[in-house]
Amino acid sequence: MPHRDLKRMGRFLALLCLLLLSTSVSAATRIGVLTMLPGEVFFERFGHNALVVDPGDGSEPISYNFGYFDPEEPDFVARFVRGEMRYRLVALPLSLDLEGYRQSGRGVSVQWLNLDETETAALAAMLAVNARPENAFYDYRYFTDNCSTRVRDALDSATAGLLKRPLTASSQGNTYRTEAVRLALPDLWMGVGFHLGLSASADRPLSRWDESFIPMQLADALRTVKRADGRALVGSEETLLPHRLPLPPAEFPQWRIEAMLAGLALAFGLLWLGRRAPRTVAALGAGFWAISGIAGLVLAYLWVGTAHTFAHGNENLFLLSPLALLLLPGAFRAALGKEPGRFFAIALLAVLVLAGTGAFLKLMPFMKQQNVEWVFLLLPLHWALSKHFRQLAARQPRAG
């Protein structure tokens, strides 16, 4: 049989399968969107959601959950580091899906949707087919292809674009950075890590369609969608489980003043200490450069070695350069009371020039990354350490 005929036959069989499945969906069937509020574990910070199909005949509703992964896969850690995680869709009884959220204290609500019988049948059939083991896996992307975007896309497909048209036309001004940092902040290390590791590609204003990668934002967006006849897409809402945990901050934190004050205080503190205990400053400088260099290596690896596209081209590499690691031998010698050497002076100047270049480029309109906080915090430290070692070299006795 020709290849073209095989493709046509495949499409026909898929359509027939969907039609057969749709005949089992009664007129009383309804579909809802579950929204689970953020939890305490780091991978629960963004919240979660799922689609639920209630047959309306008294039997158990089915939750279609796109958020399952297997940490025991042999290559799980390597995939996680590279940004190539595999998630899957799992269909399970609603009561079973809710039990884990009940135990962890996470709130769960459901939005029952005003879908017609054709849309309900098509969506229920699509979910049933996609939940089969051979179809369930997908390549997870943190911002663009996750549990929430899968719910959004399934609804949009079943309703012939009812969501995408209005949601792409409106924006609240949020970005991937503001949402990621805001939701991660209850774990300070996680919020700071997102802020440091995201590049300029995470700073464009998002449409409501794009920001629906956050389950709570998708729930809010669904409340704004109207059908062609003027009815709201969301027919009713109910709380299934109360939320017993602290909620993340409602707004993206503004740290610029705090970062500037901290940077200046640390810089002048180092200069003051350098006049009294230069070896201590050398040891502190070694610690700072070690952290800077290692952080720079991580940022560079995220750029050139992973699929974390929203970390590619990170401007913080100007401030956290791997070149800082070249300063460690000289810093150790200075901490022992010895001269750090000429190579140390050259490397120190190079690291300072890079940091200064990064700060200067923030004045350029084509440098879009929102990292002024890091400039305010780190540039004064680079300047103070460079000034300290220049002053120290000037005080060194010279051979006659």
Task: State yes or no: pLDDT of 229 exceeds 50.
Answer: yes
Tell me: the pLDDT tens digits for 126-138?
999 999 999 999 9
Percent of the chain whose pLDDT exceeds 90: 84
Domain boundaries, the chain: 3-241, 256-395
**pLDDT score, position 381:** 98
Q: What's the whole-number mean pLDDT along residues 239-257?
A: 93
The predicted pLDDT at position 15 comes to 46
**Tally of residues, the chain:** 400
Asked if residue 397 has pLDDT above 70, the reply is no
Query: In the structure, what pLDDT confidence band is assigned to residue 13 with cuts at 50, 70 and 90?
Result: very low
pLDDT in tens, 259-317: 999 999 999 999 999 999 999 999 999 999 999 999 999 999 999 999 999 999 999 99
Q: What is the mean pLDDT of residues 333-348?
A: 94
- pLDDT, tens digit (0-9, with 9 covering 90-100), for 87-108: 999 999 999 999 999 999 999 9
DSSP 207: B
Q: How confident is the model at residue 23 (pLDDT cuts 50, 70, 90)?
A: very low
pLDDT digits (tens, 9 = 90+) for 36-74: 999 999 889 999 999 999 998 889 999 999 999 988 888
Which tens digits make up the pLDDT trace of 150-206?
999 999 999 999 999 999 999 999 999 999 999 999 899 999 999 999 999 999 999
159: CB partners within 8 A, 6+ apart: 115, 119, 233
Q: Smallest Cα–Cα separation from 351: which of 324, 388, 380, 315?
A: 324
**pLDDT band at 360, cuts 50/70/90?**
very high
Model confidence at 398, pLDDT cuts 50, 70, 90, reads low
Mean pLDDT of all residues in the chain?
92
Q: What are phi and psi of 173, to 5 degrees?
A: 85, 5
Half-sphere exposure of 222 (CA within 13 A, CB side): 32
Residue 399 is predicted with a pLDDT of 44
Quickly state the pLDDT bin for 12 (edges 50, 70, 90): very low
Partners of 138 in the β-ladder? 87
Beta-bridge partners for 113? 234
Over range 240-266, report the average pLDDT: 94
What is the Cα–Cα distance from 278 to 334, expressed in whole angstroms?
A: 8
243: number of Cβ within 10 Å: 17
Greater confidence (62 vs 28) lies with 62
172: CB partners within 8 A, 6+ apart? 206, 208, 211
Among candidate residues 158, 146, 193, 166, the one with its CA nearest the CA of residue 295: 193
pLDDT band at 77, cuts 50/70/90? confident
> Which pLDDT band, with edges at 50, 70 and 90, does 125 fall under?
very high
Q: What is the model's pLDDT at position 27? A: 67
Residue 138 to residues 22, 69, 87, 141, Cα–Cα distance (Å):
24, 10, 6, 9
**pLDDT given at position 82:** 92
Q: Residue 3: pLDDT above 70?
A: no
Classify strands 30-36 and 108-113 as parallel, antiparallel or unpaired: antiparallel
